[in-house]
Amino acid sequence: MSEKTLWQVSADGLWNNNVVFAQMLGMCPTMALTSSATNGLGMGLATTAVLATSNALVASIRHWVSPHVRIPIFIVLIAGLVTLVDLTLNAFLHDLYKVLGLYIALIVANCAVLGRAEAFAQRSPVIASAVDGAAMGLGFTFALTLMGAIREVLGAGTLFANAHLLLGPHFAFLETRVIPGYGGYLMMILPPGGFLTLGLLIALRRFIEIKRVGSVAPETGHTLQCGA
């Protein structure tokens, strides 16, 4: 790593270059698995494990990999890690495994994972790459969990429902009935609710960035957006 500190790398992953809200990557699991906060948290943590580990592995072998074959090698490494995560979830968190289903295997095709290996890990030391992967993964987890929480509260009046079944008994404390007696608004846990929630959160992030960075770029008249 050259100019960036570990803090800057972490800030990029969590906010400035957030996988969902800034880079608009990983839309398949984002839209499909955020009908509840529990699903979003489980998918996000699984992806975080793959991102952090794959970044560290790519960084550790970057001096021995020919540039001509780096992409196939990176994909093989990522696929192997995803297989380990898939088998681990099936063995220890089988209920969550059944809910996430095919989307665990599709982590291999998540552009954010290969993108960080190509854009950051192959040019940076192991520790910085692991931090970058962990930060990107946690930013992804934050986005999925936040979307899932909003959709679940508005769609069913609950928060982290069935967390003890999907994530294990230690997560039972997360289960909350936010709106007692609320029948729920079905649209929010259906695909239209996912698109609506994502669009509003992206708009909110842009509004925050405009307030933080500045209002309007004078030479173009366009609003400034940091980290997009």
User: Amino acid identity, residue 120?
Assistant: F
pLDDT for res 214: 73
Domain boundaries, the chain: 6-213
pLDDT for res 7: 92
pLDDT for res 215: 54
pLDDT for res 4: 76
Distance CA(41)–CA(142), nearest Å, equals 8
> Mean pLDDT of residues grouped by 10 in the chain (228 residues)?
77 94 94 95 97 97 93 96 96 94 93 94 95 97 97 96 91 94 92 96 95 62 39
Please name the residues in contact with 200: beta carbons below 8 A apart, sequence gap of 6 or more.
none
The answer to whether 47 and 40 are in contact (CB under 8 A) is no
Cα–Cα distances in angstroms (integers) from residue 190 to residues 140, 141, 212, in the given order: 21, 20, 33
pLDDT for res 3: 59
Token couple for 146: 């936040």
Strand spans (E) along the chain: 158-159, 176-177
